[in-house]
Chains A and B, each alone.
Chain A
């Protein structure tokens, strides 16, 4: 049950786009389309941003998008805004367990 691999940090200027990767294996990210992404502002409850690889819940803007290729999923935040600064975590179904990535701190410069 190893954690999924995310870069520890990412950054971009307002208006730019940033992509965060999430790498797993063929028995988790690569084996199912059950990848989700969460935004977490410290001290608050995490918020679902993407589910089923590329689906957005109601209320999440369309400048947030997800994709997957092989064992790597990605989250793209376009048109960066100050409120996008947060920690982002990917998650994947892994059969008998659920896995999270180590988290990526997104900084809006």
Chain B
């Protein structure tokens, strides 16, 4: 089955760190750009970051620059998001998303993983 499964979320205090993982199955991860997208409670979707199929190109949303790091291990069929200096406003469901790099759309989404930043 073609799917993405996120893990690693949970409760963390402001200023803390968390590493999200995303395991892919049913397709060749190394052929795709991958993204992280988040949704805060009661809010809309918000793009976080993207990484090229071979990891050679990475971009971040302004709020993520300097705090979040996206990475991938194609041999392990996995995508990661290291989040440091977390803020209350980073509380959200984080989705691992497969991207189409020709037409820039998202064609496969994980179910999401909740990150709660609270004291």
Residues of A within 8 A of B (CB): 1, 3, 32, 34, 36, 38, 40, 44-48, 51-52, 55, 57, 89, 91, 93, 96-103
Contacts and interface: CB of A to CB of B under 8 A. Distances in A.
Main secondary structure of the interface of B (DSSP, over half): strand
B46 interface: yes
Most chain A Cβ neighbours within 10 Å, of B37, B45, B50, B61: B45
Given A57-B107, A98-B35, A99-B47, 10 more contacts: A3-B44, A38-B106, A45-B110, A46-B109, A48-B107, A52-B103, A55-B103, A91-B45, A98-B104, A103-B44
Contacts, number: 63
26 contacts: A1-B61, A32-B104, A36-B103, A36-B105, A38-B106, A45-B95, A45-B112, A47-B109, A51-B100, A51-B107, A55-B103, A57-B107, A89-B44, A91-B45, A96-B59, A97-B59, A97-B61, A98-B35, A98-B104, A100-B44, A100-B45, A100-B46, A100-B47, A102-B43, A102-B44, A103-B44
B111 interface: yes
Nearest to B100: A51
B62 interface: yes
B111 A44 contact: yes
Most chain B Cβ neighbours within 10 Å, of A32, A46, A57, A89: A46
A48 B47 contact: no
Contacts of B109: 45-47
Contacts of B111: 44-45
A1 B16 CA distance: 26
